[in-house]
Amino acid sequence: MQVRFDFAAARPAPQDRPIDVIRLARSRNVGPATFRALLARHGSARKALAALPELAGRGGARAYEVCPEDAAARELAAAEAAGAKLLALGAPDYPAALAQIPDPPPILWAIGRVELLARPCVAIVGARNASALGQRLARGLAAELGAAGWTVVSGLARGIDAAAHAGALATGTVAATAGGADKDPAFETAELARRMRREGLVLSEQPMGAEPQAPHFPRRNRIISGLSRGVALIEAAERSGSIITARCALEQGREVMCVPGTPLDPRSGGCNALIREGATLIRSAEDVMEALGMVLTPERAPDSPDAGLTEAGAAFARARPAPEPCADARLRADVARLLNLSPVEENELARLTGASLGALADALLELELAGRLERLPGGLLALAPR
């Protein structure tokens, strides 16, 4: 069993300034789990910032500096100039479905219609070099789902992504990008990106003006799936970003749906393989809504953004660890000794050390801040490579 956090406790305090939240999120070795744990433990971003150097020192860091205030101020000023809104993990306007994934972004920058996140979302992704038939299918599928009350999510790439956004632009669509939310992507979708900021919504966990880099794309993909009840794939090759999105969806407990294709077209290889592994075969918007168990119209939209989430997700949000003091040196030493480059589960560490989950969470937080611990998908932990 992994340590869970109550989002009501792990949220920025009303007195927190946006600049404090940005500084905490951008401080060294503060990932999603650590951000949430720090807020739950200290009650505010400002208090967490003050505690960071001591916590990192307890974990073994020789020198630790929090994100400078002037750096956060520049990021905030650039966001305000671009018309971006800050969405912080735990805050009431943070997407409820995204908050339930194992590694939600501590902060998101949003440009456009933030209210689209309150509706049920479904993702449509696929090949950049999509066929004309695939793009037509994506556009039509997105238009029908949008008309039925769904917000369509994708990644603003050319091909299937662009077709899906275009099909749902009139009803509501959200793009998660690997670069800054204000940054125009490739030439083919630059105009669409500008329309999305006016008529849809563009999200990114990167600062304004950030250039998309290779490591950012898998992280972007887990946002696409995390926002959505399910992910529909059209023309996805076996080794592609769309398959990474599908894998993220499976890890997050989302539905994975695929349009089948001819075995002669490598663009359909990933979809066909996923169907063989158990993904739902879809041909229409009706198939998508049947797979998700919900046939929605704007008049039948759910009462809350997290309506329809699994009971496990609801329990995740309600659970709360008992507050405990900082980890003692002996426990930190035991955990550090047990960690190596091979991943291990938290409950295994708890069994081997005999520590409570709360005390173990404290030790892990301090070791992570010191750069000695690496969190991996699936809740696994490993020694950080030097």
CATH number of the domain bearing residue 160: 3.40.50.450
Classify residue 23 by its DSSP letter. Answer: H
Residue 301 has pLDDT above 50, yes or no: no
Instruction: Specify the pLDDT at position 1.
Output: 35
pLDDT at 327: 56
Q: What percentage of residues in the chain have a pLDDT greater than 90?
A: 58
Residues 253 and 351 in one domain: no
Q: Minimal CA–CA distance to 59: which of 377, 341, 361?
A: 361
Residue 4 lies inside a defined structural domain of this protein: no
What are residue 86's DSSP bridge partners?
109
Beta strands in 118-196 (DSSP E): 121-126, 151-154, 173-176
Per the model's pLDDT, the better-predicted residue between 182 and 380 turns out to be: 182
The answer to whether the CB of 105 falls within 8 A of the CB of 223 is yes
The tokens of 5 are what? 């956090």
Residue 42 in any domain: the answer is yes
As separate numbers, helices (DSSP H) first and strands (DSSP E) second, the chain gives: 16, 12
Question: Is there a single domain that holds both residue 329 and residue 187?
Answer: no
Short-list 44, 53, 43, CA closest to 18:
44
* Spatial contact of 294 and 229, defined as CB atoms under 8 Å apart: yes
pLDDT value at residue 299:
41
Task: Give the whole-angstrom CA distance, residue 151 versus residue 169.
Answer: 9
Domain of 27, CATH number, reads 1.10.10.10
Stretch (H or E) spanning 274 = helix 269-276
Look at residue 295 in the predicted model and tell me its pLDDT. Answer: 53
Rounded Cα distance, 46 and 25, in Å:
12
Kindly state whether residue 233 falls inside one of the protein's structural domains. yes
Structural domain count of the chain: 2
Q: Is 30 helix (H, G, I), strand (E, B) or coil?
A: coil
Write out pLDDT tens, residues 247-283. Answer: 999 999 999 999 998 888 888 899 999 999 999 999 9
Please determine, for residue 315, whether its predicted confidence score (pLDDT) is greater than 60.
no
- Do 5 and 322 contact (CB within 8 A), yes or no? no
Share in percent of the chain as helix, strand, coil (round to 5): 45, 15, 40
Two structure tokens written together for 209: 């003006």
| The residue to which tokens 């035991």 are assigned | 334
**Residue bearing the bigger pLDDT, 204 or 266:** 204
Please name the amino acid found at residue 52. Answer: L
Max Cα distance, the chain (Å): 62
DSSP 118: G
Question: Is residue 377's pLDDT more than 80?
Answer: no
Cα-trace Rg, the chain:
21
* Average pLDDT estimate for 93-118: 94
User: What is the model's pLDDT at position 258?
Assistant: 96
Domain boundary among 248, 279, 305: 305
Residues 320-348 pLDDT 10s: 343 344 557 888 888 888 887 778 888 88
Q: How confident is the model at residue 296 (pLDDT cuts 50, 70, 90)?
A: low
For residues 71 and 37, the answer to whether their CB atoms sit within 8 Å is no
Q: Is 162 among the domain residues?
A: yes
**297 and 346 inside one domain:** no
β-strand 380-383 against 344-345: which pairing, if any? antiparallel
**Entry pTM:** 0.82
Contact status, residue 167 vs residue 199, Cβ threshold 8 Å: no
Mean of the pLDDT values across residues 122-131? 94
What amino acid occupies position 326? C
Q: What is the pLDDT of residues 86-104, one digit of tens each?
A: 999 988 899 999 999 988 9
Tell me, yes or no, whether 131 and 214 share the same domain: yes
Query: Is 356 part of a structural domain of the chain?
Result: yes
- Domain termination residue (choose one: 305, 338, 360): 305
Where in the sequence is the domain holding 228, given as residue range(s)? Answer: 101-305
d(CA 259, CA 141): 11
Q: Which residues does residue 231 pair with via DSSP β-bridges, in sequence order?
A: 123, 256
Residue 316, pLDDT score: 31
| pLDDT of the residue at 351 | 86
Calculate the average pLDDT of the chain: 86
Encoded tokens for 103: 């590694």
Alpha helices in 10-60 (DSSP H): 18-26, 32-42, 45-59
CA distance 176 to 165: 11
Neighbours of 385 (CB within 10 A): 6
Residue 379 clears pLDDT 80, i.e. is over it: no
* pLDDT tens digit sequence for 227-256: 999 999 999 998 888 999 999 999 999 999
Locate tokens 């075995």: which residue?
263
- Together in a domain, 68 and 116: no
pLDDT for the residue 326 = 52
Q: What is the dihedral of CA 87, 89, 91, 94, to 10 degrees?
A: 50
Q: How far apart, in whole angstroms, are the C-alpha atoms of residue 128 and residue 118? A: 28
pLDDT band at 11 (very low <50, low <70, confident <90, very high): low
Residue 59 covered by a domain: yes
